[in-house]
Amino acid sequence: MSFLEYAPAPESRAVLSLKSEYGLFIDGDFRAASGESFATISPADESHIATIASASEADVDAAVAAARRAYDKTWSRMSGRDRGKYLFRIARLVQERARELAVAESLDNGKPIKESRDVDVPLVAAWFFYYAGWADKLDHAGLGANPRSLGVAGQVIPWNFPLLMLAWKIAPALAAGNTVVIKPAETTPLSALIFAEILQQADLPPGVVNIVTGAGATGAALVRHPDVNKVAFTGSTPVGREIAKAVAGTDKKLTLELGGKAANIVFEDAPVDQAIEGIVNGIFFNQGHVCCAGSRLLVQESIHDDVVERLKTRLSTLRLGDPLDKNTDIGAINSREQLDRIRELSRIGEEEGAERWSADCVIPDNGFWFAPTIFTNVQASHRIARDEIFGPVLSVLTFRTPAEAIEKANNTPYGLSAGIWSDKGSRILAVADRLRAGVIWANTFNRFDPSSPFGGYKESGYGREGGKQGILAYLKAPAAAVEPTPLVERAEGETKRRTRTPRAKKGASS
């Protein structure tokens, strides 16, 4: 038995008490949808988990109407203190049911239990905890006293961090005084539906949060709904573009968190052992299903061979398999469709002349799997250096000078994140200044915190989630916004203006 062989150590599914069928969560209760239902499956073995309702346009309409009523009658009239208390309750309930949520997430999404247990769910609780405190402190968010909520928020979230993305959307929206209709991703609705039960336990007023499951058409109906005041979307750049077009000309406030092709820049003076761990975390965390993944490794030429060798050694120790096993490092690819895309782009990478290396691991018979893969000898023009693969595939490029690294890092329409590895703080700060990306990790990667704004430059979208900037995305300026402007009395003539002294001006300002 080699040191890599462990006895299976699966997390128990007994903690789950799933229903065989889930309806839509509208106005505080589950109800049947008028659309056809669909199955959600485990990507690890393709087994059936539950039957999920698909919200039709009429269902979305009912959800938005419920959110509007709740906004008008309850939530917008409630004190910030009480809104905050509901959010604190939700944070605590998430902590209480953390293991159940983690198991459900790994089951439905395919991510390793150690990630859902140690990253996703704790961050979900942290997000509600952080924004709970904002609810009665909005005067300090930066828009002046008494900023206003927007109304009904329509939110569409992706499958890579199902519950975490839900928290990123719902927590600031509710803290700011908005009500919510949210659509989870088609392949990962399960944790959102358990979250609906948590909302019932928290006794959140009906209609404040409505959860409509379904596919793309459900999301389109939601973002196009005329009674939605705010649209927040996380997902692909092509869909984000369509949403931006759909809301053009309306008063809807829009934030978009879209794709990325992050550069992870490793300088020759980097602490190599930490960098290797950071590179692995950057691209193989969550099977690479991360919009801010460090999918382009830019290594200084002098250390390229050493870094690639060490990476291969490290990747050979990663354990791929059952997402519920506590020793699993690499879980399942979320869907067949995504697996096909990863395979296709990898095939193109080989055809274009890059050199492929995949970790030698046993691929389970059922389910969707892709071994951790590195491409070396990648040129900036290759598809695998330009397109978001959204899988466990790393493209390695080289550079000689910091200027070249910056040039290559910025040579993408995306601008979500970047990494810098160097022992020299002054160089890190200088390079960070020049990178066109919204989040930059220096000597670390893929760190998230509710107090830290997250979001992109360029075609990675606009608006921020997290931090003070994240609450601003759900607020507008007070009704009678008074800006400190140096107004010159318009009727005054030249002479008067010329002779006015600062002291006279001061006296006149009352």
Partner 1 sequence: MSRRLTVPKTYKLYIGGAFPRSESGRTYEVVSAGGDFLANASLASRKDARDAVTAARGAVKGWSGATAYNRGQVLYRVAELLEGRRAQFVDEIVQQTGVSASDATAEVDEAIDRWVWYAGWCDKFGQVAGNGNPVAGPYFNISVPEPTGVVAVIAPQDTALLGLVSAIAPALVTGNSVVVVASERYPLSAISLGEVLATSDVPGGVVNVLTGSPKELAPWLASHPDVHGLDLVGAGDLDWVDLQIAAAETLTRVLPPEQGPDAAAPSLSRIAAFTETKTVWHTKSLV
- CB of 442: closest distance to partner 1 in angstroms? 4
- CB of 316: closest distance to partner 1 in angstroms? 27
**Contacts (CB under 8 A) with partner 1, residues 472-501:** 477, 481, 483, 485-494, 497
Among 88, 87, 64, smallest CA distance to 210 is for: 64
- CB of 197: closest distance to partner 1 in angstroms? 27
Q: Which residue do the tokens 């485990």 mark?
A: 42
Q: How far apart are CA 16 and CA 13, in angstroms?
A: 6
- CB of 410: closest distance to partner 1 in angstroms? 11
* Known catalytic membership, residue 257: yes
**Contacts (CB under 8 A) with partner 1, residues 126-165:** 126, 142
DSSP summary character for residue 272: H
* Known catalytic membership, residue 291: yes
Q: What are the structure tokens assigned to 30, written together?
A: 């589950």
**Contacts (CB under 8 A) with partner 1, residues 41-60:** none
Binding track, positions 275-314, relative to partner 1; x by CB under 8 A: ----------------------------------------
**Contacts (CB under 8 A) with partner 1, residues 210-239:** 237
Opening angle at CA 168, ends 164 and 171, nearest 5: 115
Through-space distance between the first and last CA atoms of the chain, rounded to whole angstroms: 85
Q: How far is CA 25 from the centre of its chain?
A: 22
Of the pair 8, 425, the CB lying nearest partner 1 is at 425
Q: How far apart are CA 439 and CA 432, in angstroms?
A: 9
Q: How far apart are CA 439 and CA 424, in angstroms?
A: 19
Of the pair 486, 507, the CB lying nearest partner 1 is at 486
Contacts for 283 with CB less than 8 Å, ≥ 6 apart:
264, 293, 294, 295, 297, 392, 393, 394
Q: How many residues at the interface with partner 1, by CB under 8 A?
A: 56
**Contacts (CB under 8 A) with partner 1, residues 423-452:** 425, 428-429, 432, 437-444, 447, 449, 451-452
502 lies in the site for partner 1, by CB under 8 A: no
**Contacts (CB under 8 A) with partner 1, residues 158-197:** none
- CB of 332: closest distance to partner 1 in angstroms? 29
- CB of 473: closest distance to partner 1 in angstroms? 11
- CB of 142: closest distance to partner 1 in angstroms? 7
> Which alpha helices (H) appear in 285-335, and where do they start and end?
304-315
Binding track, positions 383-422, relative to partner 1; x by CB under 8 A: ------------------------------x-x-------
Of the pair 8, 413, the CB lying nearest partner 1 is at 413
Indicate which residue of 105, 115, 186, 257 is catalytic: 257
To 10 degrees, the CA torsion angle through 212, 213, 214, 219? 40
334 lies in the site for partner 1, by CB under 8 A: no
> What is the number of other CB atoms lying within 10 angstroms of the CB of residue 308?
18
Answer for which of 53, 160, 455, 471 binds partner 1 (CB under 8 A) is: 455
458 lies in the site for partner 1, by CB under 8 A: yes
Of the pair 359, 405, the CB lying nearest partner 1 is at 405
Indicate which residue of 11, 115, 186, 291 is catalytic: 291
> What is the number of other CB atoms lying within 10 angstroms of the CB of residue 465?
25
Binding track, positions 236-275, relative to partner 1; x by CB under 8 A: -x--xx--xx--xx------x-x-----------------
In the β-sheet with 21-22, what is the strand arrangement from edge to edge? 21-22, 48-52, 38-41
- CB of 258: closest distance to partner 1 in angstroms? 7
> Residue 181 in 3-state DSSP?
strand
Q: How far apart are CA 417 and CA 257, in angstroms?
A: 12
- CB of 64: closest distance to partner 1 in angstroms? 22
Provide φ and ψ at 156, rounded to 5°: -125, 125
Is 217 buried (19+), middle (13-18) or exposed (0-12) by CB count in 10 A?
Answer: middle
Longest dimension (CA), the chain: 95
- The answer to whether residues 338 and 286 touch, using CB atoms and an 8 Å cutoff, is no
Number of residues written out for the chain: 510
* Residues at the contact surface with partner 1, assessed by CB under 8 A: 126, 142, 237, 240-241, 244-245, 248-249, 256, 258, 413, 415, 425, 428-429, 432, 437-444, 447, 449, 451-455, 457-462, 464, 467-469, 477, 481, 483, 485-494, 497
Query: So which residues are the catalytic ones?
Result: 257, 291
